[in-house]
A and B are shown apart, each in its own frame.
Chain A
Amino acid sequence: MSAYSKDVIRELVEGTLPWPQTRRIMSAYKDDDRFDKYISVLQDRVAWDDPILLPVGDRLFICDGGEGRVTRCECGHSFGDYRENWKLKAVINVRNTEASLREIYPNSDLPDPDWMEIREFFCPACAHLHEVEAAAPGYPIVHDFQPDLEGFYRDWLGKPLGKPGKETA
């Protein structure tokens, strides 16, 4: 079974691992300790100490904070209870005019703003763009991911999740 150093996993996650090495990792059997090393790499990256329980985006994590298990931006901003849709606590910019769509698509044909809009969900603290939805006007905001956090730790990882920093149930 494959195994890689934490440094290799860090470079892989950051997209800086040379392609031939990345390609070998893609073709090899998967490494069983990946999740632990991955979490460790991410934990080193963030400036806060609360344990990361599960990444749910590129710079978005479920972590065990003082206020319970929450969805948190890498900058430290909390979007609240991880079971709720973090997007509802974000700030949003909607591109639903040809002029605003043209800012992102300078050369191409554009969708019809009466049929489709772009929704950008930003962190209100650091302005990181966490997610983009392309949706018809009036389409409800999607709750992208509701992980079975307890089941994942208990049944798949076989390790304790630990009590949340504050009871959120």
Chain B
Amino acid sequence: MLDKTANPLRSRLLESERLMEETGCYDGITELTLRRQDPLKFETLHTKLRAYCVSAREMARRISASPGVREVGEMVVAIYTPEGDAIALSNGIMVHVHTMSRFIKWMIRNGYEENPAIRDGDIFANNDAFIGTVQVPDVMDVVPIFHEGTLVGWAGAVCHELEAGGITPGGDVCLAQERFTEGLFVCAEKVGENDELRRDYVIRCERNLRMPIYWVLDEKAKVAACIDMRESVKTLISEIGLDYWQRLSKEFIEEGRRAQLARTRQLTVPGIYRGHTFYGHVTEGKPGFQPLGPPNWLYNIPIEMEITAEGKIRMDFDGTQPWGYHSMNCTPAGMDGGMFVTLTQHMNFEGLVNDGAWMATEINIPHGTWTNPDNEMAATATSWALLLPAYGVFQRLLSRGFIARGFVEEAFVGQVNSPMIEMGGISQYGTQFGMAHFECAAAGSGALAIKDGLDTAYVGWNPESDMGNIEIWEQNMPMVYIGRSIVPNSGGAGKYRGGCAFSSTWLINKTEHLRLVTSEHSSRVFDNGGLCGGYPAPTCEKHHAVRGSDIFEKAARGEALAHGPGTDPVTSDFERAYKGEQVFEEGPYITRPHKSGDIFSHAYNGGGGFGDVLERDPVKTALDVENGFLTREAAETVFGIILGDDADGYPQADIDATVARRAEMRRARLEKAIPVSDWIAGEAARVKRQDFAPEVTRMYRSAMQLSPRFASEFKSFWGLDADYAFAGET
């Protein structure tokens, strides 16, 4: 039992923060004494902790019923100090290592020691993003670790739930415009005692979810993982002693903080880095959206990153847009988590990975913006829709530093949004069901500065990206795959192209009621970018579907089927192959239910390109065309590469013709381009006229109202008067 009189947890947390403020070092650890005394023991013990985490996660994944957790690995576990700072963590969705930290600290700050009390065997759960997670489906469980009556740490686990009981099936609920339609909330709740989940909590889950088996078994998996880690830590403490453990765990974090600063100094260059991205959302004419704000909107996400002389990374989101009545808002926990998972991939590839890395950063998320809403009723169900583009910018900013410093192998154009589909209704077994389809966890990555991006193999939130096996997904939904294929030209063009995306095509099967929804994305803007002359990957593809298709009749006649929408932007292969009602819909996809015989297709996103397209290797490009990553048309018109055929009919680069074609393209570039100063003069007149689409005008108006700096820089750049303002209401 915690001794509240001698060492109340809240006082300990405040003292830890005071020591950090006073000394600049975590918990006042100015000397890494244990590391100095026995560095081998120090490293070995951290490796042990990491092994506890990895082992617990792998064990727990076998308990889960969710293909998201079992197949795709949507889970992470970690071990924390009593104050809630991560000491060691597993692989997986590492974004939540730090969001769990916020959850633990929130309970401590809110007097949980007194009520509901923190006892050995307790289980606490949370999925409230304003307390500490990203979105409702990210449900976390933590258990305290006691050693002989003293609270010595926490073990925590997070799974992304495939069904959260919101207004639409799944968990990334784009129809949620306030928190009240996002799904089942568990707000820092004690959900179990004596290592057992409370029956009333399980009943609540069973009665409020479309597919409770996912959530409930994931809960059991997480509790098992936490208990496993807890017992391992207790055994370790018995071996090394409590005093040693308490000092050691703090030194691990301080070492992580120092290592992050050192790596920044080693890999980058101090200075100011800037970038931006955009996000467009269209709900006009779509069913279900309440008229609480403008139906369509455009968000700018400018990011300024400073790398200080000390090696600290400061991120600043000043100038971005206000929160709104939509599902894409993000909480500080989510913003921190995005920073943490990006750092772990880019800079924490060696040494002790823990919350210390996060402590070597600072982030400015202006109050009232989507990054830090000043209204806790705001929905965050699809935070990732803005988080992913934003941290893709962060990756490009870091990469410019890597390039400047010479570590070109680490430069990476970054992550992209990867729109998920979710579904519910009546399953192929005739039962109620609901599920998020997590094959989206395998988008194309941005290019590297030395090679093409990864094809269908990367998302920012989980570095171990995996699309899952088709057969497993088919067991869980009333649809069968009739196609899963690379989307040609879906990587951004460049000397090194972005990784390509894939698309899936399904036949709805054995159901008369299947709701299909996608959670985000219009096609109006690029929400990714290229680097050093590379182009962004294509914008999000619209959805193709055929209602009441004749696919069964065609199959019975033994005729060839179309397995995807094809590459013709005007007429899809579906239109050529199938009779029925052809649907061509910009995301988010929200329509009446589908039924057996319908066809639905969904494309994921590729990554941005790196470098000038006219420097791309013609031989590599011929291989790309042969393998379906690029089309011949793109090779010639975009990359300036002329392909012939070899004796076997495979594409072969014509080097001489390519050189000539590229020389012509360079001439054409200069003929067409104008001095930037001339362009600015012309555009300034347009800005003065405010000759923009309403969504663009509203974006500028909001940004200028929220950010004096944005307003000042905007006016300065275009030579506008100090009292210039965009007309209209925000």
Per-position binary interface string of chain B over residues 403-416, scored 1 when its CB falls under 8 Å from any chain A CB and 0 otherwise: 11111111000000
Q: B525 is contacted by which of A105, A116, A138, A143 (Cβ under 8 Å)?
A: A116
Report the Cα distance A126→B567, complex, angstroms: 34
Kindly state whether residue A22 has any CB partner on chain B within 8 Å.
Answer: yes
Report the Cα distance A29→B533, complex, angstroms: 30
| Cβ < 8 Å to B, chain A residues 1-36 | 9, 12-13, 15, 17, 19, 22, 25-27, 29-30, 32, 34-35
Across-interface contacts of A135 in B (CB, < 8 A) = 276, 278
Quick check: A58 and B449 within 8 Å, CB to CB? yes
Per-position binary interface string of chain A over residues 78-113, scored 1 when its CB falls under 8 Å from any chain B CB and 0 otherwise: 000000000111111110000000111111111110
| Cβ < 8 Å to B, chain A residues 133-159 | 134-149, 151-152, 155-156
- Return A130 CB to nearest CB of chain B, in Å: 6
Kindly state whether residue B700 has any CB partner on chain A within 8 Å.
Answer: yes
| Cβ < 8 Å to A, chain B residues 486-515 | 487-490, 493, 495-496
- Return A56 CB to nearest CB of chain B, in Å: 6
Residue of B nearest to A150 (CB): B270
Known A-B contacts A22-B450, A121-B676, A138-B692; the reply to A146 vs B614 at CB < 8 A is no
Report the Cα distance A135→B488, complex, angstroms: 24
Residue of B nearest to A34 (CB): B406
Quick check: A107 and B612 within 8 Å, CB to CB? no
Quick check: A129 and B451 within 8 Å, CB to CB? no
Report the Cα distance A106→B696, complex, angstroms: 26
SS class, residues of chain B in contact with chain A: mixed
Report the Cα distance A11→B407, complex, angstroms: 13
Q: Which of A103, A114, A122, A136 has the most CB of B within 10 A?
A: A136
Across-interface contacts of B634 in A (CB, < 8 A) = 106-107
| Cβ < 8 Å to A, chain B residues 261-281 | 265-267, 269-278, 280
Quick check: A109 and B266 within 8 Å, CB to CB? no
Across-interface contacts of A109 in B (CB, < 8 A) = 523, 538-542, 569
Quick check: A13 and B278 within 8 Å, CB to CB? no
Kindly state whether residue A57 has any CB partner on chain B within 8 Å.
Answer: yes
Quick check: B409 and A22 within 8 Å, CB to CB? yes
Report the Cα distance A26→B713, complex, angstroms: 39
Report the Cα distance A110→B542, complex, angstroms: 10
Known A-B contacts A128-B612, A143-B274; the reply to A115 vs B533 at CB < 8 A is no
Kindly state whether residue A70 has any CB partner on chain B within 8 Å.
Answer: no
Across-interface contacts of A120 in B (CB, < 8 A) = 669, 673
Across-interface contacts of A146 in B (CB, < 8 A) = 271-272
Quick check: B493 and A104 within 8 Å, CB to CB? yes
Known A-B contacts A145-B274, A147-B270; the reply to A104 vs B535 at CB < 8 A is yes
Q: B523 is contacted by which of A102, A111, A126, A129 (Cβ under 8 Å)?
A: A111
On chain A, the number of residues with a Cβ less than 8 Å from chain B's Cβ atoms is 79
- Return A8 CB to nearest CB of chain B, in Å: 11
**Interface 9-mer from B144-152, B380-388, B645-653, B679-687:** B679-687
Across-interface contacts of A116 in B (CB, < 8 A) = 278, 280, 524-526
Report the Cα distance A30→B259, complex, angstroms: 13
- Return A52 CB to nearest CB of chain B, in Å: 11
Known A-B contacts A104-B493, A134-B526, A136-B525; the reply to A12 vs B409 at CB < 8 A is yes
Q: B280 is contacted by which of A115, A140, A149 (Cβ under 8 Å)?
A: A115
Known A-B contacts A15-B450, A54-B404, A89-B676; the reply to A138 vs B696 at CB < 8 A is yes
Known A-B contacts A115-B298, A127-B666; the reply to A145 vs B536 at CB < 8 A is no
Across-interface contacts of B695 in A (CB, < 8 A) = 115
Across-interface contacts of A161 in B (CB, < 8 A) = none
Quick check: A151 and B309 within 8 Å, CB to CB? yes
Across-interface contacts of A37 in B (CB, < 8 A) = 406
Quick check: B567 and A107 within 8 Å, CB to CB? yes
Quick check: A92 and B673 within 8 Å, CB to CB? yes
Kindly state whether residue A63 has any CB partner on chain B within 8 Å.
Answer: no
Across-interface contacts of A103 in B (CB, < 8 A) = 637-638
Per-position binary interface string of chain B over residues 532-568, scored 1 when its CB falls under 8 Å from any chain A CB and 0 otherwise: 1111101111100000000000000000000000011
Q: Would you list the 10 A-B pairs with minimal beta carbon distance, nearest first?
A: A38-B406, A108-B538, A147-B271, A140-B717, A91-B673, A58-B532, A127-B666, A134-B526, A114-B693, A129-B533
A residues neighboring B (CB under 8 Å):
9, 12-13, 15, 17, 19, 22, 25-27, 29-30, 32, 34-35, 37-39, 54-60, 87-94, 102-112, 114-116, 118, 120-122, 124, 126-132, 134-149, 151-152, 155-156
15 extra A-B contacts, CB within 8 A, seeds A91-B675, A107-B567, A136-B692: A34-B405, A37-B406, A55-B403, A55-B404, A92-B674, A107-B569, A107-B634, A114-B693, A114-B696, A115-B298, A124-B670, A130-B533, A130-B612, A132-B536, A134-B277
Q: Enumerate 14 A-B pairs (CB-CB under 8 Å) in ascending A order.
A: A15-B451, A22-B450, A30-B266, A106-B489, A109-B540, A111-B523, A115-B278, A128-B533, A128-B612, A132-B536, A134-B525, A137-B693, A155-B270, A156-B269
